[in-house]
Amino acid sequence: MTDCKTILRHILATISYRFSKSIDDVDCSFYSFQAPNGVRTPIDIINHMASVLRYLIKEISQREPIKPSGFTEDEEIKLFYDLLREADELLIEAHVPLETCLILIQGPLADILTHVGQISLLRRYFNKPITGENFMKAKIAIGNLARERQDFSNDQFK
């Protein structure tokens, strides 16, 4: 049976890859883009994703992570990647029962992936859509969580 921590770590790497792609090559005005009907701005979504990651970290480590505030867009994005890395490092050492693994997938991890999709959709509304890609061929590697280390060379339309 596959180790659930391996699956969780792969999902974190997938989140990093897809999030990096969703914010790749946008100027800072994108983060405050306001779509109609009360849709959250991209930076509000990123802030929420960081809160969800803090919840995931709390569930793994049984400790309350610090919630910083007052960040610029760049700092908020860096915080998100730092939280991804912290969660990944905790998973390396932690014992994660299968039941917890399943709850983390259906709860916080699915929520974050949904929000990454929202950011990608907002890019289209912002007139800067992401390039098409077969994500099954994406170069995603467990432990590769840094924005600058993502390889989008599989983009089909570049």
pTM of the entire predicted model: 0.90
Give the torsion sign (CA, 114, 109, 26, 152): negative
Q: How far is CA 25 from CA 1, 3, 67, 88, 104, in A?
A: 40, 35, 28, 26, 30
The span from the first CA to the last CA of the chain, in angstroms, equals 38
Count Cβ neighbours within 10 Å for each residue of 32-70 and write b for 16 or more, e otherwise.
ebeeeeeebbbbebbbebbebbbbbbebbeeeebeeeee
Per residue in 98-122, pLDDT tens? 999 999 999 999 999 999 999 999 9
Q: What single-letter amino acid sits at 96?
A: V
Model pLDDT, residue 138: 83
Per residue in 58-105, pLDDT tens? 999 987 766 776 778 889 999 999 999 999 999 999 999 999 999 999
Mean pLDDT, the chain, integer? 89
Contact 33, 118 (CB under 8 A): no
Q: How confident is the model at residue 145 (pLDDT cuts 50, 70, 90)?
A: confident
